[in-house]
Amino acid sequence: MASTAPAPTPVPAAADHGNFKLLKSFPIKYAPITVSKWRSEKTGLTVVLGSHQAPITNGYFAVATEIFDDTGRPHTLEHLIFLGSKSYPYKGVLDQLAIRAGSSGTNAWTSNDHTAYTISTAGSAGFLKMLPVYVDHILHPTITEAGFVTEVYNINGSGEDAGVVYSEMQARENTAGDLMALDAQRTLYPPESAYRSETGGLMHKLRVLTAQQIRDYHAKYYQPYNLCLVIDGAVSIPELFDVLNNQVDPLILEQQKASSQITPPADWKRPFVETPTAQPFTVPESITKVVEFMEEDESVGEVIINYFGAAPTDYKTNTALSILGTYLKHSATSPLAKEFIEIPKPYCTSIRMYNFDRVNKNELQIEISDVPSKHLEEMPNLIIKKLEKIVKEEGIDMERMGRVLRRDKRQLLDYVESQATDVLSDAAIADFLYGDQNGADLPPAFNDLADYAALEAWKAEDWISLLIKYYVSAPSVTIIGKPSAALSAKIEKAEKDRVAQRKAELGEEKLKELEKKLEDAQAESNIPPPEDMISTFPITDPASLTWVPVETAINNVAGEKVRSDQGAVQQHVDADGVELPYQVHFSHVKSNFIEVTVIMDTINLPTHLRPYLTILQNALFSLGVKRADGTELSHEEVVNQLNDLTVSQDTHFEFRGVFAEIVCVSLKVQKTQYEEAVSWLRDLLTGAIFSKERLSVIVAKLAQELPTEKRDGNSIAASWATQLAYDSAKSSSQSCDLLNRIEFIPATAELLEKEPETVIKHLEELRSHLLEPSTLRVSVMGDIMSLEKPRSSFAKSFLPIEKAKPLASLSTSRETLTPLGHNPSKKCIVVPMPAIEGSYSCHFAKGPAGFNHPDLPAVRLAAAVLNALESYLWKSIRGSGLAYGAHIVVYPEAGLVGFSVYRSPNAMLAFEAAGKIMKGLVDGSTEMTQDIVDGARSSMTYGFAKKSETVLAAAGTAYLNEVLKGVGKDYEQEELKKLPSITIPEIRDIIAKYFSPIFDSETAIGAVAVSTSKAAEVEEGCKKLGFEVEIKEVPVLKGDDESELGSDEEMRSGDDSEGESGSDSK
């Protein structure tokens, strides 16, 4: 008798689990990820799980939040969720527990159709412990009057408006982006649509909002049947549903006093889908509006053009629109870039195209940045005419479209490997909001490869039809953002008059009552939780984590002794050809891609050449090139060939946020194109053609970007602070900083016109210096074992270096410090800015120098203690409404420590409060508990794991540690082992030694960018603290209104693991 084969064991995901009934389960065809969706029969709670191997577990808990006014209740509620729940009725408990669970804390964002609450933990054990706690906060928050006063809105004893949410919206409401977006929403959507609303809240509405209105909103929308838990990572499915069935669902039923089931009320309407927002409507004709925004420099403005697109679940059409957008605007050879950007006098510096999910028709947007004011009114029509010309005359270049499609497909595969959590959460949240409730629309959201295959069969006329339907023949709503110097003064005066009138109306007695009300609210909000509520919550054990495996190999230069793993990968490399006369390091991980990076130390550059790195980095991938075989390519041919080869290309200062004086040039390609990537790096570095025509276009674009960058208070504060600390004559990165570029780029634009040969000569000299073999290193990351010729590819196709030179020691930014950087003292710069409301600051003092400094583990732990959400700085500064964010940062490369204040009414009051915290912790008057230290240690576990979350991130960490820092590949794991032995007295000593000096004028320097109206107040605050104050203006640009520069650079980040807490977007 034939034996009966056993029934196949079902995949654990593809099954019901207790209350939770499976709706859909399927593998993603292009990634090792299984997506499954369930809904609870008892509560209606939806769960989407993306199962895949990763060291980090991520949660995105989304609520569909529809609002038909500008009160900002979705946003204010987002803030109040974190102030306690029915089961944990204490402010800060959620973050204190999250940190112990191996996270950096919780966070959230509010969009105009949902609010999402996030948490990421190292491993999954802490995540599962946090899940019922977090859901309890979301569905059963306390929403107290005291919480409303401190977190949302209050009038302080000086008669001024305050509160965390109010301050946040005050900093945003009159910016160009917010003003233009709101006007677009008002014009696009009819009065009955929720998409018209400012979900963040307008200031005049926040001033009359009440806690009860927020409670009423929560009661309606924050129900389990309107909540979706999106989870991804290596989560045990049985363990997940054990928590959901035995803790989460019972907790919801108990809190809502439901015996067996929760169902929507009869009048419940699914947000957006079943409400008036879903009613079909049209924009009958094109409309253009002008919106003014505050800006002293009136040279450039912004434009957005809005259309309606396809349905959110029409994935193929939305993919086609994305591809079409890339074709139209991406790279120097795209039709829109060639017409408006890649010209000697640009009409703009960037054109971006977006597709926002909406209920019936998505919203398409063309965003045009840095438009000279004289072109603002004509710019929208020029764009539309160009699109019409493509339809009627130029057609679609199908060869280029093929390149766009191929690259987009490569980037999808890279994206799901490097940012799987974003791929999963974006699709799952959109499906929850707008898709079929039983999951029918979820699988098609991941059907990208089939969509690409269909689009590859399209002909030119198909793309033209798409362009006509959604852009050329469709009505549009255009918003022109026009800078106005007068508006700044007008708003400042109106605000002063309003506050003065209110103070007069309230009188002294009422103001005292308001101050007392605020103090009482703060006291109530700051009642600590019972000690055992925190201490009994388990801490993540670093030993339990699974790290992405990385094996390394190295080709050392003669005399170098950098160690590697000396395993199979080293044997594979050694077996391939002879040793190379320069250092090449290999980090092997399982990946579909290879990233090759050339690292050049710039410490010995002649001073006059350093600022030219700005031009070189911006130009390198869009210049003509003479290849090694003598073939000369135009800049368009270079751009097209690189786009057809790579997943990405990049050039920048620093490697992973460290070593400020190195310049990195990298190409990421598929494994089969490794040798081609090596040869292209050679030709880009040695054969770039510096022509006057091409350089003029690139410099003109750089020049035109600056007015926008100058509006950023955070960048201005950081730039002035780094000017004090770092010497531009010694530091290439500092010489390319914002303030130096303001002088250099317009001057170079003039020089290109008068003496182009001088600019070209300097760039050629710069290239020669950069390619000095003694300062050159190479990193190769990816699946090294799959490469047939990992080493000989360099011998054949890289730089023609014949004789090895001893490799110079890698420079550090400590070598570039000014005298004030070496010995910070007394100096504080204050920069009044009409374009901002509020202030930002950046401060430095001496810190531990070097990555092997014996104090460094304790310094990092002390910084984590101070920075943790709901810890000392958070409570004293964020909790008191003194600033939206404030952080201690450690820079071991430079031997500095820093403190930054973000979005503050008066940054020096926040600075002073932080100084008092340091003093209290040092003298013992402020208690430091073991619970806080344990939580900080656990958050560092997450920080280290996060740095190596993906395969190529882990490979980069291995290279950074093994070669650049010289501390060993597994440095993070070893440092984590040292943390438990660090005591509270040692942390107090570290704070006294390194962090207290930041707040002592004798041992610190800094800079503050502040709104013009508050400049005198901030200046007085600096002087009161003993600083010698110098008032600086944002430098005026040379040249006409088309010769201005900008940059996306931020302040130096130091080691990306150091001094960090959570994000400030709550």
Written as one string, the DSSP assignment of 985-1036 is HHHHHHIIIIIGGGGSGGG-EEEEEEEGGGHHHHHHHHHHTT-EEEE-PPPP
Which ranges of the chain have pLDDT less than 70?
A: 1-13, 1038-1066
Q: DSSP per residue over 377-442, as a string?
A: TTHHHHHHHHHHHIIIII---HHHHHHHHHHHHHHHHHHHHH-HHHHHHHHHHHHHHHS-TTSTTH
Does the residue 131 lie in any domain? yes
- The pLDDT score that the predictor gives to residue 27 is 95
- The pLDDT score that the predictor gives to residue 1066 is 63
Does the residue 172 lie in any domain? yes
- The pLDDT score that the predictor gives to residue 3 is 36
Does the residue 41 lie in any domain? yes
- The pLDDT score that the predictor gives to residue 488 is 85
Which residues, including other chains, have CB under 8 Å from residue 377's CB and lie 6 or more apart?
480
CA distance 416 to 232: 12
Contact 830, 1032 (CB under 8 A): yes
Which residues, including other chains, have CB under 8 Å from residue 343's CB and lie 6 or more apart?
697, 700
Kind plus residue range of the DSSP H or E element containing 481? strand 477-484
- What is the amino acid identity at position 32? P
Which residues, including other chains, have CB under 8 Å from residue 849's CB and lie 6 or more apart?
814, 892, 894, 895
Does the residue 442 lie in any domain? no
Q: Which two tokens stand for residue 352?
A: 């971006």
Contact 618, 694 (CB under 8 A): no
Tell me the C-alpha to C-alpha distance, in Å, between residue 498 and each of 11, 109, 175, 518, 762. 65, 31, 20, 21, 56
Does the residue 1013 lie in any domain? no
Contact 1024, 824 (CB under 8 A): no
pTM exceeds 0.85 = yes
- The pLDDT score that the predictor gives to residue 6 is 37
Q: Measuring CA to CA, which residue among 419, 45, 97, 98 is closest to residue 229?
A: 45
- The pLDDT score that the predictor gives to residue 1057 is 35
Does the residue 522 lie in any domain? yes
Contact 656, 957 (CB under 8 A): yes
Give the single-character DSSP code of 284. -
Q: Which two tokens stand for residue 64?
A: 């569909």
Does the residue 178 lie in any domain? yes
- The pLDDT score that the predictor gives to residue 9 is 38
**Domain CATH code at residue 527:** 3.30.830.10
Q: Measuring CA to CA, which residue among 128, 123, 116, 137 is closest to residue 428?
A: 116
Work out how many domains the chain is built from and give that number: 1
Domain, as residue range, for 53: 20-272+509-535
Q: Measuring CA to CA, which residue among 74, 62, 71 is closest to residue 119?
A: 62
Coil vs helix vs strand at 310: coil
Return the residue matching tokens 């569909």.
64
Does the residue 104 lie in any domain? yes
Contact 858, 986 (CB under 8 A): yes
Q: Measuring CA to CA, which residue among 959, 1060, 1010, 1047 is closest to residue 734?
A: 1047
